[in-house]
Amino acid sequence: MDNNQIIKILKLKSIAIVGISNKNHKPSYQIFKYLNQNEYNTIPVNPNYRSIDNIGCYPDLESINKPVDTVNIFRRSEYVLPIIESSIKINAKAIWMQDGVINQEAFEVAKNAGLLVVMNDCIFRRHQETYIDFQ
């Protein structure tokens, strides 16, 4: 993955986290907490919750009533394409598919729509590796 593209995505501050869990041992929740502590505006997306840590949780991307820069995906690979399609509808700028989330078709759809795309990588790990670039 191109490091310049990763830095561009990490500079975007509004991140919808699709598939977030409210269980503090889950990676999606840990990354949600980390991003909040690092000046990101995180938007939880999971139809099973009304809120996570007193932040309103949306059932899907299209229900969000504010701009979303990046869509961070914590869903199984076979469920990614509809999320990409919704990301395009809401005019997101970037897609980040977490470790183990691999869907080449969805990757191509997002890229062809002009979105920045990362697949099978960890936003937490990459943020820590490139943090020096933000100082």
Query: Is the distance from CB of 70 to CB of 16 less than 8 angstroms?
Result: yes
What pLDDT, on the 0 to 100 scale, is given for residue 131?
A: 66
Q: Is the pTM of this model over 0.85?
A: yes
Query: Is the distance from CB of 52 to CB of 29 less than 8 angstroms?
Result: yes
What pLDDT, on the 0 to 100 scale, is given for residue 107?
A: 97
Residue 32 is part of a domain; what is its CATH number? Answer: 3.40.50.720
Query: Is the distance from CB of 124 to CB of 34 less than 8 angstroms?
Result: yes
Tokens coding 100: 């183990």
Domain count, the chain: 1
Structural domain containing residue 101: 3-134
Residue 15: strand pairing partners: 42, 70
What pLDDT, on the 0 to 100 scale, is given for residue 3?
A: 83
- How do residues 33-78 score in pLDDT, each as one tens digit? 999 999 999 999 999 999 999 999 999 999 999 999 999 999 999 9
Residue 2: pLDDT band by 50, 70, 90 thresholds?
A: confident
Provide φ and ψ at 47, rounded to 5°: -65, -10
What pLDDT, on the 0 to 100 scale, is given for residue 132?
A: 54
Alpha-carbon gap, residue 119 to 134, rounded angstroms: 22
Dihedral sign, CA of 88, 106, 73, 44?
A: positive
- How do residues 102-134 score in pLDDT, each as one tens digit? 999 999 999 999 999 999 999 999 999 886 555
Task: Calculate the alpha carbon distances from 16 to 2, 99, 132 in Å.
Answer: 22, 17, 24
- How do residues 81-92 score in pLDDT, each as one tens digit? 999 999 999 999
Q: Above 50 in pLDDT, residue 135?
A: no
- Helices 123-130 and 27-37, packing angle to 10 deg: 30
